Amino acid sequence: MTPERPEAVQMPLEFIIGCGEPLTRSIALMERACRRMQLPPEVTANLVMPQEIRVFRMPCKTLGKVVNLWGVLALHNNARGPFKGGVRISADVSLWETVELARLMTLKTAVTDTEFGGGKTGIRVDMAEMYRRFGRHPLDPDFEKIISLDAVAYYAQAMREVFASHIYVPAPDLGTGPDEMASIFNETLDPASVTGKPEGTHGWLPGRKEATGYGVAYIARRVMQEMLGRDPAGATAAIQGFGNVGSHTAIYLAQAGVKVVAITDSRGGVYDPDGLDIAALQEHALHTGTVSGFAGPQPFANDQLWGLEVDLLIPAAIGNVITGENARRVRARAVVEGANMPTSVEAIDLLDAQRVVVIPDILANAGGVVASMDEYSRSLSAAKMTRQEVFATVERSLGEAFDECRDRGRVTGECMSEAAVSLAVERVYGAMRRRRMT
Ligand code: NAD
């Protein structure tokens, strides 16, 4: 179901492009915040719409052939600092999806008071089509790596000036990682032009890889102690996703004594009411690529997660998994969003009515971008940082944002998702006004 939109704001960009952006979760929540602030429609449009979109075609030479790849660079807002956001390589990249992800970055950096703006890159690569074109058999990680490295190397060449001038500071996202960030560094030879660089290279940051999951687990602990009145030791959690975010969240929760009773991924799941052995599960997933088939605990389907009676439900895989359809089945006391936009606006409202606390993505999973600011600063100054120092910054930034959102909600009646977006919009609007950008 599409969320309600009482007075749709006219978006000038949509007239220029000639097609309308779908009503996304961040637009719906930003429009609510702007209405509360009684901002005029043209200011709302300036806050919601990106400052710049580049749609490009790159002739990319790879494995002896030229493949033309299309992509989008969405620069949403830089009122508070350089545009910041990941480079995504996927078959279903689209203009509006890239804009939505860039907007999410603006909100995420603002709510945690990290002095970056929001941007995103999407490069459309259909790996199935690549296998056909090059006559290769599917599921060859080395082949896919060559394609993604070449795609990012060409992208870095094409956008060299944007990176070198720190207009937009890229990072890894779906389909890219430290290796691809190294090829951007190779192009600019400037360690501060990109974050998420590989270990041991100029300006890399210990703890960057774990920072998002560390932050999710930290926020989860705060929720248990301060909103659920529950000691983390012995509390229960269920997690969707056991990739970078899900696995590190599980590790740090288990370290705090939380019983992680269920974990699912794209191929299945496992359940143990006494708490899963996370270290053993990690070892299993490393060898098999999935949590499914882990000896001992019971098999478990993704769909069973939503009705599980646990203290915490942590979607840390994909977007839009908790919707108006299944929100009423949720028996958890709190949802902590590890993934980007896993809960629809309709589900946020239903869960709020059911008194289930929802901690939004822009707060809960912001540990990665907070650590990126450490990486950026350290790359500029050449001062080294330890993993403990990085984790301390994550705790401070996320902790302060958590306090501000909770306190704000107590006064305004906003749920945590609304309070976080309102706080972010206020900060971005304030910076835009001071810089006379609106
Ligand atoms: P990842 O690729 O490392 O892991 C993704 C996990 O999700 C895997 O376990 C995969 O099996 C599972 N999964 C995929 N499709 C699924 C499905 N249909 N049902 C159930 N499970 C499924 O990705 P990640 O880096 O852990 O990112 C996860 C989410 O967190 C994404 O939404 C991402 O945008 C968001 N995020 C990541 C970071 C970061 O630093 N990595 C930061 C902020 C937000």
pLDDT tens per residue, range 174-228: 999 999 999 999 999 999 999 999 999 999 999 999 999 999 999 999 999 999 9
Q: How would residue 295 be classed by pLDDT, with cut points 50, 70 and 90?
A: confident
Tell me the helices (H) and strands (E) count for the chain, helix number first: 16, 12
pLDDT tens per residue, range 54-76: 999 999 999 999 999 999 999 99
| Partners of 310 in beta bridges | none
pLDDT tens per residue, range 336-385: 999 999 999 999 999 999 999 999 999 999 999 999 999 999 999 999 99
Q: How far is Cα 206 from Cα 159, in angstroms, rounded to an integer?
A: 27
Q: What's the CA-to-centroid distance between 304 and ligand 1, angstroms?
A: 19
Q: What's the CA-to-centroid distance between 134 and ligand 1, angstroms?
A: 28
Nearest to 283 by CA among 236, 250, 238: 250
Residue 197 annotated as catalytic: no
**The predicted structure's pLDDT at residue 4:** 56
Nearest to 334 by CA among 317, 348, 320, 319: 348
Distance of CA 362 to the CA centre of its chain: 8
pLDDT value at 3 more than 60: no
* Ligand 1 pocket member 212 (CB < 6 A): yes
* Ligand 1 pocket member 244 (CB < 6 A): yes
Q: How far is Cα 242 from Cα 320, in angstroms, rounded to an integer?
A: 17
Question: Which of 173, 219, 244, 336 maximizes ligand 1 atoms within 8 Å of its Cβ, making it the mutation to test the pocket?
Answer: 244
Q: Could you tell me whether strands 83-90 and 65-77 are parallel, antiparallel, or unpaired per DSSP bridges?
A: unpaired
Q: How would residue 1 be classed by pLDDT, with cut points 50, 70 and 90?
A: very low
pTM: 0.96
| Partners of 431 in beta bridges | none
pLDDT value at 2 more than 70: no
Question: Which of 98, 103, 265 maximizes ligand 1 atoms within 8 Å of its Cβ, making it the mutation to test the pocket?
Answer: 265
Q: How far is Cα 225 from Cα 223, in angstroms, rounded to an integer?
A: 6
Q: What is the DSSP string of 280-341?
A: HHHHHHHHHSSSTT-SSSEE--GGGGGG---SEEEE-S-SS-B-TTTGGG---SEEE--SSS
The protein residue whose alpha carbon is closest to atom 5 in ligand 1 is 243
Nearest to 152 by CA among 84, 144, 82: 144
**The predicted structure's pLDDT at residue 319:** 94
**The predicted structure's pLDDT at residue 8:** 77
pLDDT tens per residue, range 112-160: 999 999 999 999 999 999 999 999 999 899 999 999 999 999 999 999 9
